[in-house]
Structure 1
Amino acid sequence: MTAAARAPGPVALSCGDPAGIGPELAAKAWDRLRDSCPFIWIGDPAHLPQGTPVAELSDPSDAAAACSGALPVLPLRFPAPVRPGIPDSANAPMVVAAIERAVDLVRTGAAAALCTAPISKKVLIDGADFAYPGHTEFLAALARVDRVVMMLASDRLRVVPATIHIALSEVPCALTPDLLRATIEITERDLRNRFGIARPRLAVAGLNPHAGEGGAMGHEELDWIAPLIDRMRGDGHDLTGPHPADTLFHAAARAHYDAAIAMYHDQALIPIKTLDFDTGVNVTLGLPFVRTSPDHGTGFDIAGQGTARPDSLIAALEMARDLAAP
């Protein structure tokens, strides 16, 4: 069989923090997707809920055949026992190793796409000297790309924050014309190439309340945001804005764009988590491979109780499969 005819590999799912809800969600997702979306879980089988059927594999290409009867697992042994809800920094290096292994599988073509279960940045910093604000920045470093974009996506909304994991007080200095232009260009390119939107329509939010109210509530919109949008529109980009963020996310407004560009983390994440808390997906744009993640955290407060909903992880796995499809 030639490489072109070879069946696509599975989605690689890194385990995330084993004391969180990641292992439980992996088992629940497998039970729902076993016949429609093959994936291989990278982690310690001992962390999965008791009674989960497991197929330990060394070759990810065997995942599709194994998936109907058991959860395919590429085993990594963790050094410390896991207690649900109580993270242990001793396991941090293996959490990082699971991400690195998953990225390696995708970059070598052994897996079709990457999906990542939630991590605790503090645990990784304490236990593995993790030098990144989050998953997104770490994946950019592993892929050796200078700039990536975080998109939150669902059937109702796609939204991109231009600045991500920084304090609100740092946003006005971090938000530059170069950053905003690059965010728009990367978003547009991946909407076209990954999502199949021939001419993406992007709506850009303002930084200040009421998009500055003509300078009464801030000058960034007048000084450079609106002029940048005008220049890019002249270059052929389908852009509108800057829009007041408080009127950008209702149903009638959303009908006029394919994605919204927000200026900072909460401006982007509050609307999508309000609209689609259980099925929103985090997609990293600008990588040389597909990466998705559920749009929620580790869930330490409910870990081990059997109550965590797998909807967002299922949506993330299905989106990873669909975006990676030839």
Structure 2
Amino acid sequence: MTSPRIAITMGDPAGVGPEIIVKALGDPAVRETTHAVVIGDLAWLREVAGMLGSDVEFTAVEHPDEADFDGAAVPVVDLANVTPEVAFGQLSAAAGDAAYRYIARAVDLAVDGSVDAICTAPLNKQALHLAGHIYPGHTELLADLTGTEEVSMMLSARSLRVIHVTTHLGLIDAIDRIEPGLVTRTIERAHRTLVDAGVEKPRIAVCAINPHGGENGLFGYAEEELKIAPGIDKAREQGIDAQGPVPADTAFFRAVRGDFDIVVAMYHDQGHCPVKVLGIDAGVNITVGLPVVRTSVDHGTAFDIAGTGIADGAGMTEALRQAVLLARVR
């Protein structure tokens, strides 16, 4: 079976992205199963590999079609845009703009079929904003670049999968945004993604917003009855096994125990905290609903350790593995 082509974006060059890419590509298993092409800066990648004492080699290509994926060197679509302003661990507009350019090029390559999936190293939202690219994060940026009106963020870590109804919003704004149609569409995306991944009949837990699921109106303002339950009912009418609203303080425990295949979280921290407790370095972020496959590590740029050589590449290795699996399905 031919290995899928995966475009790896280098992320913010001042963060740990280049380091975890070098470490992941140093794993023989990754190289055997993945035709990886990095969208980034060739000189910067070589500098990081030298810093790490890695034997991973890189070579420049104009386009993935030119790449020799069976060769010793990893092909790099070299945008050559790491300027002297960029330094490890330092916030800068130059680094934010570089990260944006990597993503934009990768999207172009994925949309035209030159690569089969995108796997992203972390960017820094503040650096992105300093460069004039005003997005809350990767998810919204990818949706805009692909012309997709609505997507969902899905996290996968060990024995737990989570998909979010809302993501990068303050809590009050998130609760205001939740409505039955959005809940239904999120459940549908969860169901479709798991079916595509080989889960024949996904069991889906849908979280409540309030403690104890609202306790029959004791807590909150009937959000469960007005915003969530009708969305679940609509999904169930389609034959989807969606249960809830389930109190969030038990939903994730039950999913890890094996009662559910995925949990629908209502807001960012409700879904992120349980996943990160299981292992922040091994979590994978998957954008569901895009016309292209996209996976990512589930951690940030880690400016505090960037350039020190201690970043863990396990998350990038797992993100690449998931990208390969999803690309083969797609």
1:265 to 262, 265, 268: 268
Q: Are positions 1:28 and 2:23 aligned together?
A: yes
1:3-82 aligned at under 5 Å gives the runs 7=2, 9-32=4-27, 33-48=30-45, 49-51=48-50, 52-61=56-65, 62-66=67-71, 69-78=72-81, 80-81=83-84, 82=86
SS at 1:145 equivalent:
coil
Match of 1:87 among 60, 85, 91: 91
Counterpart in 2 of 1:172? 175
**CA RMSD, Structure 1 to Structure 2 (Å):** 1.7
Cα distance in 1 between the residues matched to 2:91 and 2:73: 27
* Whole-Å separation in 1 of the counterparts to 2:317 and 2:123: 17
- Residue equivalent to 1:212: 214
Please state how far the C-alpha of 1:241 moved relative to its aligned partner.
0.7
Q: What runs of 5+ residues in structure 2 fail to find an aligned partner?
A: 51-55
1:192-213 per-position Cα deviation (integer Å, ceiling 9, x unaligned): 22x1222221100001111111
8 Å Cα contact 1:247/1:253 also seen in 2: no
CA contact (8 A) 1:115 1:291 kept: yes
The two structures have a TM-score, normalised by structure 2, of 0.91
Match of 1:256 in 2: 259
Instruction: Tell me the number of residue pairs that the alignment of Structure 1 and Structure 2 aligns.
Output: 317
- Measured in 1, the distance between the counterparts of 2:68 and 2:277 equals 35
For residues 284-305 of structure 1, give each alpha carbon's deviation from its aligned partner in whole angstroms, at most 9, with x where no partner exists. Answer: 0011111000010001000000
Q: Which runs of 5+ in 1 are unaligned?
A: none
Indicate how the Cα distance of structure 1 residues 63 and 17 shifts in structure 2: closer, same or farther if over 3 A, else same.
farther
Mapping of residues 1-326 of structure 1, within 5 Å: 7=2, 9-32=4-27, 33-48=30-45, 49-51=48-50, 52-61=56-65, 62-66=67-71, 69-78=72-81, 80-81=83-84, 82-127=86-131, 129-193=132-196, 195-218=197-220, 219-250=222-253, 254-326=257-329
1:282–1:293 Cα contact (<8 Å) kept: yes
In structure 2, relative to structure 1, the CA distance for the partners of 1:63 and 1:325 (3 Å cut) is farther
Distance 1:323 1:253, change over 3 A: closer
Whole-angstrom CA distance in 2 between matches of 1:224 and 1:90: 42
- Equivalent residue of 1:146, what SS? coil
Structure 2 CA distance for aligned equivalents of residues 254 and 138 of structure 1: 34
Distance change (3 Å), C-alpha of 1:83 and 1:224: closer
Q: Distance in 2 between matches of 1:217 and 1:242?
A: 14
- 1:138, distance to aligned residue in structure 2 (A): 1.0
CA contact (8 A) 2:15 2:302 kept: yes
Q: Matches of 1:57 and 1:235 in 2, distance apart?
A: 47
TM value normalised by structure 1: 0.92
- Distance of 1:302 and 1:252 partners within structure 2: 33
Q: Distance in 2 between matches of 1:20 and 1:261?
A: 31
CA offsets 1:111-166 (integer angstroms, 9 cap, x no match):
11100110111111111x11321110111111111110100012311101111001
Aligned CA distance change for structure 1 residues 8 and 144 (closer, same or farther; 3 Å) = farther
CA distance in 1, matches of 2:49, 2:191: 44
Letter in 1 for 2:26: D
Distance 2:116 2:234 in 1: 37
Q: Tell me the distance in 2 between the aligned counterparts of 1:97 and 1:119.
A: 11
Letter in 1 for 2:314: D
Q: CA 1:239–1:252 in 2, change beyond 3 Å: closer, same or farther?
A: closer
